[in-house]
Structure 1
């Protein structure tokens, strides 16, 4: 039987733990706040931000939302970020991506105070992660680690293959999987669009993390029986005249081979949002010098 790893259930446990952290901080007179910044008219981005604000409300984190006109000069966004960096009521700052073409995303990432960078995209936080001394772990890769732990999958000594080399998922999850400590110590291979014979690598893997951004790219014949499959992809496709969500893994054929697999939706996605809340209360505790019982 294939174990379907329930991201909704694991995320709910983490959110409950985060709510406990909020109570501990409140007892010390500290009230964590997450600022979301939206500079887009994209309906999907608006939905993502509203979901994050709702998550904050559910666990007791103060939600601060700022909108910048998508036609405004980049300097207006930079000034907004500077103001949030200086605001003591803000523990974490998240700028929703993508941004308009006239805004340099790299400059935006560098503009956020590393101590408030709850996405963990700032070069300082990336460097700390690579050095094995992370302040924050990026939300999706950390969520993947927590899903593996919930499924009693210990990567230590195993062959892990990451398909995709993005700065947001592929690179950081590779670092976490081969890094020292709990949830790491795997022998990790990173594959990408230039990899020759991808299936040769995935069939060797004990754990496959699919983060290529290509719908149903990984199929069951590319896996060995007993592989653990983590599907990061969220792709909207038309099927039989209807729009539906699929991952980077062809679920039915992969589930026939996998010992455990994450579904889409309901797998990695809820964990990304839960770990954002986790990073926000961690940031508040670090700033205030309060030791919070992180879940």
Structure 2
């Protein structure tokens, strides 16, 4: 686990802690469930099982707020589920809405009991029998795919809790998938190509299995990298004796989209050292 500043990581709010293993993530969620943490903001790419891990760990009454819920609807849900765990999952626009940020600042206060208020849409509240303010002891997990520190108000929310950015490696995701994935051929094939996966995701395995079950070319889920394409092209040119010189091979390399003359000779040099 390490700390980083926002400009160095795609998903990182300021002062975020970077988690790279599922064990680290599960430890933080368990600490929240046991009452040690008041607010956890969990940020990471899609397809990493963030929500599943939180859902599996939290026992008892939990209010899940997902999707396109407006700040007003969230206020209503918070009232209806007072003193329960609150999980706000994949509501990425909430922190960009001034009413949403104001609501989060109320809800995520560091005191054990927080006063949450709503002072607009009074008729809507009256219709549902909900007061304009209430007291709750709810603790909060916010799960986001793209949390942004847009202003002082969102920064104030971050300062109230633990901001975790989950960035597992391809091998870490692969090992986690191995706990439940039952297609050994597919799993092994992907495992041999982890260095070609720029953005690890469990959804890659689902997509490959879906294509395989449909009788389609499932190996296309991992496109051949530029480096591998150049290596393959260079090797084909090196063993093709119809080219009279290396310069002729380099020219063909360029014409086939491999890159410039210097790139060909760099790849050829590497391959010759491996093959010799």
TM-score where L is the length of structure 1: 0.28
Would you tell me which structure has more helix in proportion to its own residues?
2
Select the structure of larger CA radius of gyration: 2
TM-score where L is the length of structure 2: 0.30
